[in-house]
Amino acid sequence: MSATDTFDIADVRTRFTSLSRGFAFFDGPGGSQTPDAVGAAIAATTRDASANLGAPYATSRRVTAILEEAERGAAAFVGASPGEITFGMNMTSLNFALSRTAARTWQAGDRVIVSALDHDANVAPWIELAHDHQLDLQTIAIKADTTLDLDDLRAKLDDRTRVVAFTAASNAVGTKTPVREISDLAHSVGALSWVDGVHFAAHEPVDVDALGADALLCSTYKFCGPHLGFAYVRAEVAETWRPYKVRPLPTPTTGRKMSTGTFPFEALAGLNATFAYLDEIGGMAAIGAYERGLAERFLATLPSTVVHYGLPHLEGRLPTFVANVEGVPADIASERLAERGVGVWSSDTWYSLGLYETLGFGERSLRIGMSHYNTVEEVDLLVAELGRLS
């Protein structure tokens, strides 16, 4: 039996009101659907736990419990300790803030390496940092097949390299990177391994120790959670940093040391419901296996009028595709698909400027992302409607 047969997709779908309306969402890479339990937890928090940390009564104890549960949940999700988790508004804001904290002791001329495969949220913070502090910014090239060119990385690493910032998987073409190998290369010159886990974490289990990551950032609205980001920073690394922080606040953990202001307790309660949901339906390994089954079917049945960029098979990639339909501009294709009950976006760069410049997806393209709440029937509908477009 394949994973598409053993995963209880019917049970999954009953948990989402948004999936009962006859529309097939293939836009998870932009933002996933959210189970009703997440919204219910958010609403309950605004009703029952509207306080802040540290007061000697029930509502305050409840928000403390919500925060602690969220730290434990996020830590378990990435294989870290609860004290190593920092929450923030989204991945981008966290990355701008943490990159600046990390770099407080760096000197002009120190080297920062980013990747041409990355979403700009893990490139722009380093470009701006390099601009402000005269750092030497280098970019790991990608090969024609969209994999990272590790020889190029090796050539660019030197003893002044402070960080290698790269994604675990492309949010556009779905290509995965050899995170452990890159982390080892970064560590071989004493640099930090700084991983954008946003796209990867929505599809496969994360283990920061196995990946050798010093920092790894996630965005919870990509895996059925609320609009919220969190970061893991290895405690031994974070302990050496001087955080940007208001002074009177106690800092019980290195993770909290780097969060600023009051926590979004409602969203954290929603996140706790998200982690419970992901566990109840079998966890990320089961999710990944099921999604691979959907993607295999998609690739096997894709009409010849559809060109997709990136790796042609599932080896080394996630179920996320950038594609064009022969003779049909992407904006028109996405509108026509939406009219027929299929949700995919069209865009130009997908925020992956290096990839766009290297590969050129055509001026605009469609992004088709499979999520664990999609069905085989939805994939068949998608393929049929793509076929009808040209």
Ligand X SMILES: Cc1ncc(COP(=O)(O)O)c(C=O)c1O
C-alpha span between 249 and 339 (Å, rounded): 52
User: For the CA atoms of 217, 170, 220, 229, what is the dihedral angle to 10 degrees?
Assistant: 30
Q: List Cα–Cα distances, 373 to 9, 20, 116, 251, 254, in angstroms.
A: 7, 11, 30, 39, 35
* Residue tagged 């930090």 (tokens): 192
CB of 262 to ligand X, least distance (A): 19
CB of 228 to ligand X, least distance (A): 8
Number of shown-chain residues binding ligand X (CB under 6 A): 12
- Of the candidate spans 88-96, 136-144, 235-243, 329-337, the one that interacts with ligand X by CB under 6 A turns out to be 88-96
C-alpha span between 277 and 219 (Å, rounded): 16
* Chosen residue from 71, 196, 214, 378 binding ligand X by CB under 6 A: 196
Which residues, 6+ apart, have CB-to-CB distance to 311 below 8 Å? 145, 146, 147, 173, 174, 175, 317
- Decide: is 92 part of the binding site for ligand X (CB under 6 A): yes
Of 330 and 383, nearer to ligand X (C-beta) is 330
CB of 66 to ligand X, least distance (A): 20
- Of the candidate spans 16-24, 84-92, 97-105, 378-386, the one that interacts with ligand X by CB under 6 A turns out to be 84-92
Backbone phi and psi for residue 177, each to the nearest 5 degrees, phi listed first: -115, 155
- Of the candidate spans 89-97, 100-108, 289-297, 379-387, the one that interacts with ligand X by CB under 6 A turns out to be 89-97
Of 222 and 308, nearer to ligand X (C-beta) is 222
CB of 222 to ligand X, least distance (A): 7
Residue 137 in tokens: 């910014």
- Decide: is 317 part of the binding site for ligand X (CB under 6 A): no
Q: From residue 20 to residue 39, what is the string marking binding to ligand X with x (rule CB under 6 A)?
A: --------------------
Q: Measuring CA to CA, which residue among 83, 11, 72, 71 is closest to residue 237? A: 83
* Chosen residue from 15, 62, 111, 119 binding ligand X by CB under 6 A: 119
C-alpha span between 325 and 390 (Å, rounded): 7
- C-alpha distance across the termini of the chain, in Å: 35
* Chosen residue from 49, 198, 216, 271 binding ligand X by CB under 6 A: 198
Which residues, 6+ apart, have CB-to-CB distance to 137 below 8 Å? 111, 112, 113, 114, 126, 127, 130
CB of 329 to ligand X, least distance (A): 23
- Decide: is 90 part of the binding site for ligand X (CB under 6 A): yes
CB of 221 to ligand X, least distance (A): 7
Backbone phi and psi for residue 334, each to the nearest 5 degrees, phi listed first: -70, -35
Pairing of strands 229-233, 85-88: antiparallel
Pairing of strands 215-219, 192-196: parallel
* Chosen residue from 229, 255, 264, 354 binding ligand X by CB under 6 A: 229
CB of 311 to ligand X, least distance (A): 17
**Amino acid identity of 308?**
H
* Chosen residue from 99, 115, 171, 371 binding ligand X by CB under 6 A: 171
Of 111 and 119, nearer to ligand X (C-beta) is 119
CB of 47 to ligand X, least distance (A): 27
* Chosen residue from 4, 33, 147, 167 binding ligand X by CB under 6 A: 167
- Of the candidate spans 147-155, 193-201, 279-287, 356-364, the one that interacts with ligand X by CB under 6 A turns out to be 193-201
C-alpha span between 64 and 176 (Å, rounded): 37
Residue 49 in tokens: 């736990």
CB of 194 to ligand X, least distance (A): 12
* Chosen residue from 38, 74, 103, 121 binding ligand X by CB under 6 A: 121
Q: Strand, helix or coil at 167?
A: strand
CB of 227 to ligand X, least distance (A): 8
Residues that bind ligand X (CB under 6 A): 90-92, 119, 121, 167, 171, 196, 198-199, 219, 229
